[in-house]
Structure 1
Amino acid sequence: MTIGELSHRTGVPIKTLREYTDTGLIYTVGRSPANYRLYDADALWCVHWIGELRGLGLTVAEIRASTRECLGRADRSVGPHLAELLHRSRERARWRITEQQQILARIDAFEADHRADLARAGDLRWAGDPRAGTAGEPPA
């Protein structure tokens, strides 16, 4: 199949498939007479597997490094290496969750501090706003 067919069957953009091919994540089986890259069913499996790993939070760089390492060392089991990558991904996800929870807490605090201002119709005037009157009151 051509790269366009692979893209259509996997839902992965052509540009991404070219990047995967250029970096060795998927392989072509050659080129057509019109010089199009050609792929077989193995490419479908690889693209699906890459998508699965990306869905688990692994980066393309991690997937690429893992692929190179596993291909370069046939004596090494993939399982422990994948477990380590999943551990890293889990830690990144926990960090992002913590960061998002901190943002939610700041939103809650802001809303609590400015409940009256947020409920007031018209232009918002915050305390300390040089356009506002004294003590955050709207100008007369």
Structure 2
Amino acid sequence: MTNNGLMTVGELSRRTGVPIKNLRQYTDWGLIYTVGRSPTNYRLFDSDALWCVESIGRLRGLGLTVAEIRRLTDAYLHRGSNPIGPRLADLLHVSRKRLTTRIAELRRTVERIDHFERTHRAELSANHACWTGDPRPELDSDPGVRPYGR
């Protein structure tokens, strides 16, 4: 931290755990504001930047994309007398739907793994040729999985 309480991007990165590249991108996108530049041309941040980075982290932790956070920030800055809560609620609904879809996809993948392990139990527990040298192992027992090149 500089003697006037300002932080360089490196210090902000160390204090938040967010990579410098991300912080520069957030600054370029208007999600974090600088308070100017140092004499050596480093971006300088005050303690508000810590709050901004933490807020971005919380929103990312709720599944929002950076693009959604940018839209929310823009709506906040230009909201006038309109409350921001309903916009955030809409974004949380979108995030929940996206995550629910992803969870369903991951469950289907786990089911395929379970099916494969049940079907190939003997081969998986032994030094079977299928896994040691056959360039085209027979995986057709699960119609949802297509072996390479077939």
- With the length of structure 2 as denominator, give the TM-score of the two structures: 0.80
Residue 118 of structure 2 is aligned to residue 112 of structure 1: yes
Aligned AA (2:9): I
Larger helix proportion, structure 1 or 2?
A: 1
Q: Post-superposition shift, 1:94?
A: 0.6
Count of paired positions: 129
Equivalent positions of 1:90-105 (< 5 A) are: 90-105=96-111
1:81 aligns with one of 82, 87, 96? 87
Q: Which residue of 2 aligns with 1:27?
A: 33
Equivalent positions of 1:19-58 (< 5 A) are: 19-58=25-64
Instruction: Please list every run of at least 4 consecutive aligned residues from structure 1 whose deviation after the TM superposition is greater than 4 angstroms.
Output: 129-132
Structure number with bigger Rg: 1
Residues 96-128 of structure 1: CA distance to partner in whole angstroms, max 9, x if unpaired? 110010011111111222222222324227xxx
- With the length of structure 1 as denominator, give the TM-score of the two structures: 0.85
Residues 27-68 of structure 1: CA distance to partner in whole angstroms, max 9, x if unpaired? 001111111111001101000000010011100000001101
The 1-side partners of 2:24 and 2:122 are apart by 54
What are the ranges of 5 or more consecutive residues in structure 2 without an aligned counterpart? 1-6, 139-150
- For the aligned residue pairs, the C-alpha RMSD in angstroms reads 1.9
Q: Is the 8 A contact 2:64 2:92 kept in 1?
A: yes
Q: Is the 8 A contact 2:75 2:84 kept in 1?
A: no
Q: Is the 8 A contact 1:118 1:124 kept in 2?
A: no
What are the ranges of 5 or more consecutive residues in structure 1 without an aligned counterpart? 133-140
